[in-house]
Amino acid sequence: MATAVENLDKLERRVTFTIPKAEVASEVEKRLKLRARTAKAPGFRTGKVPAKMVAAQYGYQIENDVLNEKNCQRIQ
């Protein structure tokens, strides 16, 4: 991950984070598989929900969680 800080004005700064796409994608896939084990959906038994449905339902949230955690780990 790379970071860059730009000085815009006396008190303004712009921080840019660059995270490798492959790193994020692998972490998202891993977490989707974990979520699929306990996912519930109408018409399916617990843990037997198709991967596409799990990704559609939880994918955005999991991706945001991964990105936020990656940023917080690097800052501290």
State the chain's mean pLDDT as an integer. Answer: 88
In which residue are the tokens 């959906």 written? 41
CA 72 to chain centre: 12
pLDDT over 90 (residue 2):
no
Instruction: Say whether pLDDT at 19 is over 60.
Output: yes
Percent of the chain at pLDDT > 70 equals 92
- Residue 34, strand partner residues: none
Which runs of E-coded beta strand occur in 1-76?
2-7, 13-18
